[in-house]
Amino acid sequence: MEFSLTTPALLFPAISLLMLAYTNRFIVISQLIRNLYQQHQQTPSRFMRLQIEHLRTRVRLIRAMQAWGAIAFILCTVSMLLNLLEFDPAAIYCFGGSLVALLISLFISLFEIVISGYAIRIQLQGLDRPRGEVKGFDEA
């Protein structure tokens, strides 16, 4: 197998777009937490507090996704540098590490997507019941 400079270069746009998507998710969820926190300060509610805790978990997952994405980007860059310096075995291992880091980031992303779907289902339960009767959540 020949390992050229273009092999790791193919990952650059993909990793960049993923990092942008992760950052956008982080910004949106952070803003939502701020808004819910302000509402919770005015009218405390157990339901709202649980939503904030759930969003906090998602923010932690997004930070992990960003960290593993950054590691993938760094390893991909190092792989290209090592390839330029003609350290081909090391370049291949760095590229492999980059792929592994990217996979970890994507698996964390998949988990975050699953729990965000769960949160939406909980939120929509309130549409089926009168105010204050959401299953499992009592007003404080």
Total domains in the fold of the chain: 1
Does a structural domain hold residue 105? Answer: yes
What span, in angstroms and rounded, lies between the C-alpha atoms of 9 and 27?
Answer: 28
Which letter does DSSP use for residue 138 in this model? -
> In terms of residue numbers, what domain contains 89?
7-128
pLDDT tens per residue across span 78-121: 999 998 898 888 999 999 999 999 999 999 999 999 988 877 77
Query: For 17-69, what is each residue's pLDDT tens digit?
Result: 899 999 999 999 999 889 988 988 888 888 788 888 888 999 999 999 999 99
Is 31 inside any structural domain? yes
pTM of the entire predicted model: 0.77
Q: State yes or no: pLDDT of 70 exceeds 90.
A: yes
- Is residue 45 domain-resident? yes
Q: How many CA atoms lie within 13 A of 65 on its CB side?
A: 26
Angle, alpha carbons 82-85-91 (nearest 5°): 25
Q: Is 119 inside any structural domain? A: yes
User: Does some domain include residue 2?
Assistant: no
